[in-house]
C-alpha cells in the first residue's frame, strides 16, 4: 500500500466508494447548443473529445467552480445501450463520488 500525506485512510486503502469508482475511457465536453437525435429518438448534446482530462479533473479538485460538471461527460468502455452504443455519463451524476482516470482517483466536488 502506498502512503500519501493528506489522503483519508479509506481513500488510501481503496475501500468503499473509492474501490467502486468507474474508470474513464473517453472524456468529453458537452455542447447543448448543438443537439442531435439518437437511435432511440432522444436528443443528446454534441460530444467534444478532451485529450487531457487529467488537467480538468485536477482543476476541479482545486477549484470546484471552474467547470460546470453538467457539461462534462465520460464513457467507461464497458457499458452499452440496446443499440450497441457506449453509455455516456455526465460528471454531475457523480457529485461527491470518486472516478478513476489512469492511475489517479479523483473525487468530484458537490
For the whole model, what pTM was predicted? 0.78
User: In this model, does residue 7 exceed pLDDT 80?
Assistant: no
Q: 15 pLDDT exceeds 70?
A: no
Weakest mean pLDDT among 8-12, 46-50, 54-58, 76-80: 8-12
Report pLDDT digits (tens) over 32-65.
999 988 888 888 899 999 999 999 999 998 998 8
Task: Give backbone dihedrals phi and psi of 45, rounded to 5 degrees, phi first.
Answer: -75, 155
pLDDT tens, residue by residue, 17-41: 676 789 999 999 999 999 988 888 8
Per-domain boundaries in the chain = 17-107
Q: Among positive and negative, which fits the CA dihedral 86, 107, 69, 31?
A: negative
Mean pLDDT confidence for 57-76: 92
Amino acid at each position: 500500500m502506498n502512503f500519501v500525506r493528506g489522503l483519508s485512510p479509506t481513500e488510501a486503502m481503496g475501500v468503499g466508494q473509492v474501490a467502486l469508482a468507474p474508470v474513464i475511457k473517453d472524456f468529453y465536453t458537452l455542447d447543448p447548443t448543438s443537439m442531435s437525435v439518437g437511435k432511440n429518438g432522444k436528443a443528446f448534446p454534441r460530444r467534444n473529445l478532451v485529450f487531457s482530462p487529467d488537467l480538468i479533473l485536477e482543476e476541479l479538485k482545486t477549484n470546484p467552480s471552474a467547470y460546470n460538471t453538467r457539461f462534462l461527460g465520460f464513457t467507461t468502455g464497458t457499458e452499452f445501450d440496446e443499440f450497441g452504443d457506449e453509455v455516456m455519463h455526465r460528471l454531475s451524476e457523480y457529485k461527491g463520488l470518486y472516478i478513476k482516470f489512469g492511475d489517479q482517483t479523483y473525487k468530484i466536488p458537490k
